[in-house]
Amino acid sequence: MFAKILEYPSDFMRLFYPRLCGGCDVPLAKGEQHLCLHCRLELPFTNFETMKDNPVERIFYGRVPLHFATSLLYFSKGEKVQNILHNIKYNERKELAIFMGKLIGKRLQNNPYLSDVNVIMPVPLHKNKQHLRGYNQSELITEGINEVLNLQQSINNLVRTAFTSTQTNKSRIERWENVEQVFNIKHPNALEDKHILLVDDVLTTGATLEACAETLLSNNRCKVSIVTLAYAAI
């Protein structure tokens, strides 16, 4: 009997350390990866990638001149997308972040609004915050997207120069003040004449993405588009 168990070590390990769904935290069935079938079927896709003048683009009108902006999923408190983001950000579900990035990449393939994008870049964390967390969730999402799109990946050029407090529970003005002038570009020439796809995990007021895009546009002859995993309508 014991020898039989050892023939299937992964099944044996799942008895004690079950792989959990990133959306609902139930044990995954054999053959499922990262999300259970129910959560995959229930993902609230925005479909914004198919349209100009979508709600994500409109957030930035009059604030920063983006070429295009979109988000993969709607975010609602207490729902599976919030749990996916929580698992990625706080429970070290790195492979889940990469998997969700691949979903984004597949949605953006052959997108006419992004046909000339040649650089993909995550919103950076401050080096101290990244050291404390151990990783940048937006960088992992970027990695997943780029497994599909195969663009030039720029990870360390855009940097966050100040350790800012969390954006949670801040107003729009407070969020902007919290990130104003905290980003810098180390090698501006590397981004000249590029179309940059800027990646983040969740969009709320857009203050952080606006600050990043403004920094990129003020230092380079480039275009900036934005994509996030989730969109929280406020």
Cβ distance 21 to 39 under 8 Å?
Answer: yes
pLDDT digits (tens, 9 = 90+) for 156-179: 999 998 765 554 554 555 544 555
Burial of 82 (0-12, 13-18, 19+ CB in 10 A): middle
Looking at per-residue confidence, does 9 or 90 come out higher?
Answer: 90
**pLDDT in the model for residue 17:** 55
Burial of 1 (0-12, 13-18, 19+ CB in 10 A): exposed
Is pLDDT of 33 > 90? yes
**pLDDT in the model for residue 233:** 77
Give CA separation, 122 vs 5, 30, 111, 154, in Å.
43, 33, 19, 8
pLDDT confidence tier of residue 13, bands split at 50, 70 and 90: very low
**pLDDT in the model for residue 228:** 98
Is pLDDT of 89 > 90? yes
126-159: buried (b, 16+ CB within 10 Å) or exposed (e) per residue?
beeeeeeeeebbbbbbbbbbbebbebeebeebbe
Average per-residue pLDDT for the chain: 88
All structural domains of the chain: 1-42 (no CATH), 45-231 (3.40.50.2020)
Looking at per-residue confidence, does 110 or 16 come out higher?
Answer: 110
Is pLDDT of 4 > 80? no
**pLDDT in the model for residue 161:** 87
Cβ distance 203 to 71 under 8 Å?
Answer: yes
Give this prediction's pTM.
0.86
**Percent of the chain clearing pLDDT 90 (strictly above):** 77
